[in-house]
């Protein structure tokens, strides 16, 4: 099974703009770099992915990806990250399929509680049932999207993407399962989320440092 992971990454200084009221640009840059490092490290520890592609306009993010044996893919420039997220993922999908991907997993970088076992659980989900598997976020977004075949549906990331991906699966006549995975449900988007990172119990459980 060609199990490929793709992760889109904003330039570190641009990510987490919702935290601008509580974190400086330097602090947000550091946070975004740490989050990507954490994901890359967990992927390496799990050893389940055939390969990983990081797609970004950021040279720093691509250098970090290469240092962790991921494929760095320079994103074709778009008007903005919002406009360009789905096209960037399409670009990464094409690159993964050219490398033999038969299963595609899309993960954001901001999952501080992800563990190697979570990647294995997603791998086993792909083995059990071809089609689409979705891990929803707390705000009805998509925190993990598993596609088998890798071009099963187009990407619809953005507001309410969980429902949109479900709808696309139904339109394609493909089975779609919802996976409830606590470690993947929480991302870092709002100031309140930073309190979780500061909580000693949560930090002890996370591989994020």
pLDDT tens by residue, 60-114 = 999 999 999 999 999 997 654 556 799 999 999 999 999 999 999 999 999 999 9
3-state helix, strand, coil in the chain (%, to 5): 45, 20, 35
Whether the ω angle into residue 149 lies within 30 degrees of 0, i.e. cis, is: yes
Q: What is the CA radius of gyration of the chain?
A: 16
Q: Return the number of other C-beta atoms located less than 10 Å from residue 80's C-beta.
A: 9
What is the set of domains in the chain, with CATH numbers?
3-205 (3.90.550.10)
Helix, coil or strand: residue 86 = helix
Q: Does residue 8 register a pLDDT over 50?
A: yes
pTM over 0.85: yes
Q: What is the pLDDT of residue 201?
A: 46
pLDDT digits (tens, 9 = 90+) for 141-177: 999 999 999 999 999 999 999 999 999 999 999 999 9
Residues 192, 209: Cα–Cα separation, whole Å? 18
List the structure tokens of 43: 């992927």
Residues 195, 19: Cα–Cα separation, whole Å? 12
From residue 147, alpha-carbon distances to 14, 22, 44, 56, 156 in Å are 29, 36, 21, 21, 13
Q: Return the number of other C-beta atoms located less than 10 Å from residue 81's C-beta.
A: 18
């Amino acid at each position: 099974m060609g199990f490929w992971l793709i992760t889109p990454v904003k330039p570190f200084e641009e990510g987490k703009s919702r935290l601008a009221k509580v974190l400086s640009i330097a602090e947000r840059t550091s946070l975004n770099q740490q989050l990507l490092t954490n994901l890359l490290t967990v992927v390496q520890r799990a050893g389940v992915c055939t390969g990983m592609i990081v797609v970004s306009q950021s040279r720093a993010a691509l250098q970090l990806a290469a240092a962790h044996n991921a494929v760095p893919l320079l994103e074709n420039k778009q008007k903005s990250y919002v406009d360009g997220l789905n096209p960037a993922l399409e670009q990464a999908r094409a690159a993964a399929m050219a490398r033999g991907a038969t299963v595609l997993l899309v993960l954001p970088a901001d999952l501080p509680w992800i563990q190697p076992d979570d990647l294995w659980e997603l791998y086993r989900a792909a083995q059990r049932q071809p089609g689409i598997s979705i891990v929803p976020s707390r705000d009805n977004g998509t925190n993990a999207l598993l596609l088998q075949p890798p071009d099963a549906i187009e990407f619809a990331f953005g507001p309410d993407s969980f429902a949109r991906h479900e709808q696309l699966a139904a339109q394609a006549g493909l089975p779609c399962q919802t996976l409830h995975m606590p470690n993947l449900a929480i991302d870092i988007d709002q100031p309140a989320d930073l309190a979780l990172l500061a909580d000693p119990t949560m930090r002890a459980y996370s591989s994020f440092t």
